[in-house]
Amino acid sequence: MTITLKKIGSFEEIEILEPLVKVIWEETFVPIIGQNQVDYMLEMYQSKEEINRQIQAAEAEYYLVFYQEEAVGYTTYRKEEQRLFISKIYLLSQYQGIGIATELFNWLEEVAKESNLNSLYLHVNQQNKKAIAVYEHKGFVNFGEIVTDIEAGFLMEDFIFIKNLA
């Protein structure tokens, strides 16, 4: 299995990402947090303008994930002191369970190691059982929980998962 990653840097590339984001978020999160919160979070955190702002402000690096020349997901990370924060790691449902996530995690570990970072961490919705199982399988450990008020009456109720790199 071979995936290709393309760093997103232009507004035109963000426009390629946007429909993928919408499909992935709807199939992943509507059953967990409902359509209203998904719509709100897409507008606040994953709109074309917001993604562009994050990239231009160097708050996050976005990568499109390609499998057999088709865009099938995306990942986003930020280098922090001593660790790599994986902000997003999403695949279309029909491409889950075939090894793409393993390649993505291997690549993210290499990014961290090349930057002399000693761990990876991420947040995951407490009800996202499928993702939690994947993270545990990849060696991540539940470090605790974080609840974030994102306004408009919505909360993000997440677990923090960490993987130390040796």
What is the domain-level CATH number for residue 145? 3.40.630.30
In the block, tokens 């507008």 appear at: 43
pLDDT in tens, 79-127: 999 999 999 999 999 999 999 999 999 999 999 999 999 999 999 999 9
pLDDT for 136: 98
Q: By C-alpha distance, which of 103, 131, 79 is closest to 3?
A: 103
Please give the Cα distance from 34 to 32 (Å, whole number). 6
Tell me: pLDDT of 4 over 90: yes
DSSP state string for the chain: --EEEEE--SHHHHHHHHHHHHHHHHHHHHHHH-HHHHHHHHHHHSSHHHHHHHHHTTS-EEEEEEETTEEEEEEEEEEETTEEEEEEEEE-GGGTTSSHHHHHHHHHHHHHHHTT--EEEEEEETT-HHHHHHHHHTT-EEEEEEEEE-STT-EEEEEEEEEE--
pLDDT for 42: 96
> What is the sign, positive or negative, of the torsion defined by CA atoms of 67, 69, 73, 79?
positive
Query: Measured between alpha carbons, how far apart are the two ends of the chain, in Å?
Result: 25
Section 5-31 average pLDDT? 95
Tell me: pLDDT of 49 over 80: yes
pLDDT for 159: 99
Instruction: For the chain, give the mean pLDDT.
Output: 96
Q: Is the pTM of this model over 0.85?
A: yes
The count of domains in the chain is 1
pLDDT for 80: 96
Query: Domain range holding 85?
Result: 3-164
Percent of the chain whose pLDDT exceeds 70: 99
Tell me: pLDDT of 166 over 80: no
